[in-house]
Structure 1
Amino acid sequence: MTDVDLSEPEADSPVFISPVAMENDPDALFAGDRGILDADVRRVLVRILQRRFLLAENSPAEWTLLLEHQQMIESRLNDLFVRLVIDHDRGVAYKEQVRSDEVDVPILLKDEAYSRAETLVLVYLRTVFQRETTAGAPSARVDVEEVEQTVLTYFAESDGTRASQQRAVRTAIARLDREGIIEEESEGRYRIGPLIEIVLSAEVLRDLQRWLDEQTDATDTEVPANPDPPASAPSEISEEDLPA
């Protein structure tokens, strides 16, 4: 049996790596830095991890860096069991949690559900976007009043007062604006971005519209107007169903 020498290596031994002072390592960004990415590329990587989406239209410099260093950024994300998805046509990048039955994958990205009001607003926005783009319009726009008027028809008396329902709709619109799904061009008027097609696929939209139609039919027959939606069309869309 061969003994293993566990003694400390000599300082001048080739296996001994002396720490390099930051002032002597121009590529280091901070003390002890072992990263190999440039500072700007690291920032793009952090933005991908921080945000649900990175939009070319809103962040052109970061988008350019992402495309230039896509392979390296993908590699770093894959090390965390996270997948990078880039939709070049829509100018959208987002991340997805890798899930596998063959490999034990620790879950890094937590689910963050959309509320019922947010889901209803998303359905209306997606419907308008689909209608306008199918008709050949270059873009689709909505007024907050028309969104509110339509979405409120799906609330029941048990959902609170009219004022609280209106606040829920306005809060939903504000969140979707922050996420870049819509953009306020003037007070109370929003442009619907192509990101809506990623957030709500045509298949999910059909399921949700079917559920809403069932709610309407139930109201006409005096059945409670706010039943639980079917499993295929949840009242809250989680990040497990959407881009993370």
Structure 2
Amino acid sequence: MTDLDVDEVEATTGTDAARGTFVETVAIEDDDEVLFAGDTGVLPFEARRVLALLLQRRYLSAADHPAEWKHLLTHQQVLSSRLHDLFVELVVDRDYEIAYKRQVRSEGLAIPVLLRDEPYKRIETLLMLFVRNRFRQEQGSGTAAAFVDAEELTDYTLGFLAHDETNLAARRREIDNAVATLVREQVLAEVAAGRYRILPVVEILLPVDRLAELTAWLRADTPEVSA
């Protein structure tokens, strides 16, 4: 073998070794998981599912969605960024293991409002106060979960009606509708006919300062207040 041949072999071997050592990188776009025809999303399936649930639901809890909660914590930064693109803030309460979204509001910015704060009606607010206090009492006694019966909710609310109220059937229907609203808002979860579990989100919806404010409102008998 001539010196030239040796040089050529060494050069070729060196090049092959380099190719074996330095794996050719793949473009980031090639790593994206295509989930459906025409998919241009960049998040993995687990993160997309969590994002969709956050947009769909009032809140996401570890108790109801343990797997999704873990994925939320894993992808929290990018999920927060995606929501910020919509002027929505991701709030993660690790103590109660609940995550929810909140509308961003900033003075001087013309921000389209996606999340509107609908005021609770008077009866709904009365029920919120009642279940919030019940939840605090049960938590203070060390009870793992707090429950309330439909009849308790009805009796409590009827106690705030005018003494000359005659149409009790209509008032009871209003109370039933208010309870249904709290179930839909995921404040209450029906575990049996007429029996509800009070969900921890009530602590977030009615923090101590808000509880005091609503109690003052209740004493003043204001017809409606935003909660």
| Residues 89 and 159 of structure 1, relative CA distance in 2, 3 Å threshold | farther
1:135-154 matched pairs, under 5 angstroms: 135-154=141-160
Q: State how far apart, in whole Å, the 2-side matches of 1:130 and 1:25 are.
A: 48
| Residues 95 and 63 of structure 1, relative CA distance in 2, 3 Å threshold | same
Q: State how far apart, in whole Å, the 2-side matches of 1:75 and 1:160 are.
A: 54
Is 1:116 matched with 2:122? yes
- 1:77 is matched with 83
* Deviation of 1:170 (Å): 1.5
- 2:113 is matched with 107
Q: Counterpart amino acid of 2:67?
A: A
1:55 to 55, 61, 64: 61
- 2:177 is matched with 171
Secondary structure at 2:116's aligned position in 1? coil
Judge which range, 76-85 or 96-105, deviates more.
96-105
Listed one character per residue, the Cα deviations across residues 52-94 of structure 1 (whole Å, up to 9, x for unaligned) are 1111111112212111111111110011111100111111110
| Residues 25 and 127 of structure 1, relative CA distance in 2, 3 Å threshold | closer
Q: State how far apart, in whole Å, the 2-side matches of 1:138 and 1:27 are.
A: 41
TM-score, normalised by the number of residues in structure 2: 0.77
Greater RCO structure (CA 8 Å; 6+ sep): 1
Q: Counterpart amino acid of 1:128?
A: R
| Residues 214 and 60 of structure 1, relative CA distance in 2, 3 Å threshold | same
- 2:97 is matched with 91
Identity %: 44
2:58 and 2:186 in contact (8 A); partners too: no
Q: State how far apart, in whole Å, the 1-side matches of 2:119 and 2:62 are.
A: 25
| Residues 160 and 109 of structure 1, relative CA distance in 2, 3 Å threshold | farther
Q: State how far apart, in whole Å, the 1-side matches of 2:186 and 2:116 are.
A: 20
CA RMSD of aligned residues (A): 2.4
Is 1:39 matched with 2:45? yes
Q: Counterpart amino acid of 2:168?
A: R
Q: State how far apart, in whole Å, the 2-side matches of 1:69 and 1:158 are.
A: 56
| Residues 205 and 159 of structure 1, relative CA distance in 2, 3 Å threshold | farther
2:147 and 2:197 in contact (8 A); partners too: yes
| Residues 152 and 135 of structure 1, relative CA distance in 2, 3 Å threshold | same
Secondary structure at 1:110's aligned position in 2? coil
1:66 to 61, 72, 76: 72
1:54 and 1:94 in contact (8 A); partners too: yes
Secondary structure at 1:165's aligned position in 2? helix
* Deviation of 1:166 (Å): 1.0
1:53 and 1:179 in contact (8 A); partners too: no
2:132 and 2:206 in contact (8 A); partners too: yes
Largest Rg, 1 or 2: 2
TM-score, normalised by the number of residues in structure 1: 0.73
Q: State how far apart, in whole Å, the 2-side matches of 1:47 and 1:195 are.
A: 16
Judge which range, 30-39 or 149-158, deviates more.
149-158
Judge which range, 70-79 or 173-182, deviates more.
173-182
Secondary structure at 1:180's aligned position in 2? coil
- 1:11 is matched with none
Query: Number of aligned pairs?
Result: 198
Q: Counterpart amino acid of 2:49?
A: R
